[in-house]
Amino acid sequence: MTQGLPDEHFFESLGPATLQELAVLTDAVLIGAKTEGRIARVATLARSGPDSVTFLTDRRHAEALASGEAGACFLPDGLKHFTPPSTVALVTPLPQAAYAAAALRLHRPRLRAVDMPDIHPDAELEDGVEVEAGVTIGPGAAVGRGTRLCAGAAIGTGVKLGRNCYVGPNAIVGFALIGDNVRIYAGAVVGEAGFGATAGDRGVIDVPQLGRVILQDGVTIGANSCVDRGAYDDTVIGENTKIDNLVQIAHNVVIGRNCVLASQCGISGSVTIGDGCMLGGRVGVADHIDIGDGARLAAATGVIGNVKPGAVLAGTPARPVRQWLREIAWVSAMTRRQGNRGSGE
């Protein structure tokens, strides 16, 4: 995402709010020289501008606040001294929950109205699009020539589908920009809200997900797989990457070109996977991990740290496959030895 988003094709602006309104809404205390200002959008620290409100929960990111241009920032009392003069502090013990409340006040997803026709008159379909029974296409959507939409597929408001694509039965595509020759198989869900939650004053609350999904040319999404839209930035899958059935791709994940992810992989939020990587079945990757170009992860590998380019890993926690094989052989040998001792041999 770039400054000025959430993307207006997918999210409606609800109009600016005064800083006083946001303070009342979130039970925050206003501190700063310009407390009469107005806020039009929420943003991350990196994307913030004079018309936006952001949040800070960790002093490790304080430099981004100090060097940014945010109009306002939710943050706890212990971090308020990091606020630059141009930014108004909204002091609260629950900054991310306050940010979530502000996001709900300022932005709303553009969803289909219940009384809309199945194919909205504002949708643009090029010649040669094949539409089977029960397909729904929202306002502002565009579908390219040669694309086939199978029975029960749902294309959300503002979605752009390229040419010669395939969307399988009952697949759902929303909040997404999709290139040419993309295949999305039956039951897959692209663009649903990611798993963003934080502590609120009444328990756990959802954090609005304001990003998009971008599928580049030649991508395949397997049956019943899920690709979540970004929380703040975009979820991106690069050219010619192939995703198997039953795979979970969380918010803000960026996957490079020509990657292969086998069934039941789970990729946590904000992971970056380089070009040409291969992930076997049931690989699990923790959040905010970087996996270098050409890495190979054996089936059921658990990744909790960054992976160097070209690495070949296995096991949990992930380690070089030769080391993992030696450890397995040693454990097997010791088990046999202990079993032999117990039998009196």
Burial classification of residue 345, based on how many CB atoms lie within 10 Å of its CB (0-12 exposed, 13-18 middle, 19 or more buried) = exposed
Q: Which two tokens stand for residue 289?
A: 């991990």
Q: How far is CA 88 from CA 2, 67, 179, in A?
A: 22, 14, 41
SS3 state of residue 102: helix
Q: Which two tokens stand for residue 325?
A: 């094989």
Q: How far is CA 317 from CA 92, 293, 331, in A?
A: 37, 20, 16
| Residue 137 CB partners (closer than 8 Å, separation 6+) | 118, 119, 120, 123, 125, 131, 143, 149, 155
Which segments of the chain does DSSP mark as H helices, in order?
A: 19-26, 62-67, 95-106, 321-342
Q: How far apart are the first and last CA of the chain?
A: 67
- CA gap 166, 48 in Å, rounded: 37
Burial classification of residue 326, based on how many CB atoms lie within 10 Å of its CB (0-12 exposed, 13-18 middle, 19 or more buried) = exposed
Which residues are part of the catalytic machinery? 251
- CA gap 29, 43 in Å, rounded: 20
